Amino acid sequence: MRPFAYFERLSQAFHDYPSLSKILVVSTISGGGLIVYSEANPSYSNNGVETKTRKRKVVLLGTGWAGASFLKTLNNSSYEVQVISPRNYFAFTPLLPSVTCGTVEARSVVEPIRNIARKNVEMSFLEAECFKIDPGSKKVYCRSKQGVNSKGKKEFDVDYDYLVIATGAQSNTFNIPGVEENCHFLKEVEDAQRIRSTVIDSFEKASLPGLNEQERKRMLHFVVVGGGPTGVEFASELHDFVNEDLVKLYPKAKNLVQITLLEAADHILTMFDKRITEFAEEKFTRDGIDVKLGSMVVKVNDKEISAKTKAGEVSTIPYGMIVWSTGIGTRPVIKDFMKQIGQGNRRALATDEWLRVEGCDNIYALGDCATINQRKVMEDIAAIFKKADKENSGTLTMKEFHEVMSDICDRYPQVELYLKSKGMHGITDLLKQAQAENGSNKSVELDIEELKSALCQVDSQVKLLPATGQVAAQQGTYLAKCFDRMEVCEKNPEGPIRIRGEGRHRFRPFRYRHLGQFAPLGGEQTAAQLPGDWVSIGHSSQWLWYSVYASKQVSWRTRVLVVSDWMRRFIFGRDSSRI
């Protein structure tokens, strides 16, 4: 019984003297070595009762790419996460065009958001829509999707310590008359399901007796507005659905179906390599998809769409269904919030390089609803020179310059991009080029004018990040890792030096890494553009597309469901049931 009495006395000592919890205790019991070490340091009130440290509350708005990535990566139990979104799932949006035609089922591309968070993070979910953000009182005001709460109210508010805005964006109609009322959009799973039902409805209506051929052609005329990746992929999927499956079931409709793609620019897929753009346009022409370039929609009614060419000619096209995919716009709640914080004239929330909303310390924004306001080197050139000139001599030695340039490259990513675009190996090459252009051979020291001359062109590489799931996912992962290390980095900052202040930034700024992009073109052919100017088009790229999209699913459940849907389509074809 003696060892147990020893443990009782030891436990009482730790309770009476909490500082002993850091002491290493070594003893020998029954001839065996026993080592006891405790890192716990619980808080005690004045009366000796242990109290729990309050968890910091993180409110996450949205369950899209950015929100789901943040939730999946966050791994710090000191946070309490409250997720608020109108939908209780994450949707793999790159496969939405496949859902519209039954290549993949809707439930195969969604994962319940409660399954995504790590088990050691306290997470709760509210199915509601945020309609107001109040940074002054640190509250968000929400409207329940389920009607009323326990007190009979539809609306409620939620407090936060940190707010992460990842609400995404909505389709941009450019205020064109009739678009909102008559067009389908392709942003959500529900949109894809509605499009699928409308396609089947069009074929069923065209099969009814008593219709003339002109009316049947109108019903089977499908118009896609927007030549970006989503519009092109949907047109490709629809073409394959019609020619591989529906014409077998509706043989009389074979010669009546028409697909038209309207694009206001001079080419489709303008964000891709020129080789891909040319191949896509040629393939669409071979497949019978009518691509009208330089056509800007000016009006839409329930049966016709009007488009204007660059020459000013307006043509009217009868249609059965329109899918609108022309870009994104700001959600109303974000517009209101931007007005509150003095950003009312912007298209998206402006954040710094650490994804923190400008003017708000504890509010972060990521994904399609935000854009990084990258500072320019030339705006800070005087402060950079002053920071590097430690001796206040008015000139920089090469040693002083190199000491600060690694931090400058971290703080201003455009410097590294500019060096790569010019084929330079380092900042020394940039200095040599500037000195050669100025006719100077001096290499020991440089003054502020020579520094300006060397860096004057780097800001040309400042570019806005594309509004893609790839960017949003990387931002969510980055921010979650910052939250995980927040306490550590408060004490030991790991970011670059502060150009206009003392010390260092807590974290390294966000840096987007482009991993490539795909454009499925139908007929089991895909265009792939990967880093290093690597372009591949054809059937081999299609199998690469299958592999990448299967691996990018957020769970094994959705991975198995998507692959099985692809196999089912290969064996049995696409399902044309309207359910």
State which fold the 377-459 domain adopts.
Recoverin; domain 1 (1.10.238)
Domain with CATH 1.10.238 in the chain: 377-459
**DSSP letters for 386-454:** HHH-TT--SSEEHHHHHHHHHHHHHH-HHHHHHHHHTT-SSHHHHHHHHHHHTT----SEE-HHHHHHH
In three-state secondary structure terms, 168 is coil
Q: Which alpha helices (H) appear in 258-396, and where do they start and end?
A: 274-287, 332-340, 381-388
Encoded tokens for 60: 């996450």
Closest by CA to 143, choosing from 96, 86, 211, 209, is: 86
Report the alpha-carbon distance of residue 32 to residue 190 in Å, rounded. Answer: 66
Contact 176, 297 (CB under 8 A): yes
List C-alpha distances in Å: 578 to 48, 110, 359. 67, 20, 50
C-alpha atoms less than 13 angstroms from C-alpha of 227 in its C-beta half-sphere: 28
Cα angle value 414/419/421 (rounded, 5°)? 90
pLDDT value at residue 25? 37
State how beta strands 162-165 and 363-365 pair.
Answer: parallel
Report the alpha-carbon distance of residue 526 to residue 415 in Å, rounded. Answer: 34
For the chain, give percent helix, strand, coil, nearest 5.
40, 25, 35
Burial class (CB in 10 A: 0-12, 13-18, 19+), 47: exposed
Closest by CA to 82, choosing from 137, 170, 156, is: 156
In three-state secondary structure terms, 44 is strand
Contact 382, 455 (CB under 8 A): no
DSSP 70: H
pLDDT value at residue 400? 80
Domain with CATH 3.50.50.100 in the chain: 54-172+328-374+464-513
Domain with CATH 3.50.50.60 in the chain: 183-326
pLDDT value at residue 51? 52
- Written as one letter, the residue type at 67 is G
Contact 85, 117 (CB under 8 A): no
pLDDT value at residue 155? 92
Encoded tokens for 505: 């930034």
Report the alpha-carbon distance of residue 36 to residue 23 in Å, rounded. Answer: 9
Contact 86, 129 (CB under 8 A): yes
- Written as one letter, the residue type at 542 is Q
What is the 3 state secondary structure string of 460-489? Answer: HHCCCCCCCHHHHHHHHHHHHHHHHCHHHH
pLDDT value at residue 30? 37
pLDDT value at residue 139? 97
pLDDT value at residue 438? 62
In three-state secondary structure terms, 212 is coil
Report the alpha-carbon distance of residue 290 to residue 281 in Å, rounded. Answer: 10
pLDDT value at residue 532? 82
pLDDT value at residue 1? 44
Contact 103, 565 (CB under 8 A): yes
**Residue 134 bridge partners (DSSP):** 139
Report the alpha-carbon distance of residue 81 to residue 59 in Å, rounded. Answer: 6
* Backbone phi, psi, residue 244, to 5°: -95, -25
pLDDT string in tens for the chain (579-residue length): 444 444 455 455 444 544 444 333 333 333 333 334 334 444 444 555 555 678 999 999 999 999 999 999 999 999 999 999 999 999 999 999 999 999 999 999 999 999 999 888 999 999 999 999 999 999 999 999 776 655 656 899 999 999 999 999 999 999 999 999 999 999 999 999 999 999 999 999 999 999 999 999 999 999 999 999 999 999 999 999 999 999 999 998 989 999 999 999 999 999 999 999 999 999 999 999 999 999 999 999 999 999 999 999 999 999 999 999 999 999 999 999 999 999 988 989 999 999 999 999 999 999 999 999 998 988 888 888 888 888 888 888 777 877 787 888 888 888 888 888 878 877 777 777 766 666 655 555 778 887 888 788 888 888 889 999 999 999 999 999 999 999 999 999 999 988 888 889 999 999 999 999 999 999 999 999 998 889 999 999 999 999 999 999 999 999 999 999 999 999 999 998 877
State which fold the 54-172+328-374+464-513 domain adopts.
FAD/NAD(P)-binding domain (3.50.50)
pLDDT value at residue 150? 57
**DSSP letters for 89-104:** EEE-GGGHHHHHTTSS
Q: Which alpha helices (H) appear in 268-322, and where do they start and end?
A: 274-287
Work out the widest C-alpha separation in the chain, in whole angstroms. 101
CATH classification (class only), 183-326: alpha beta
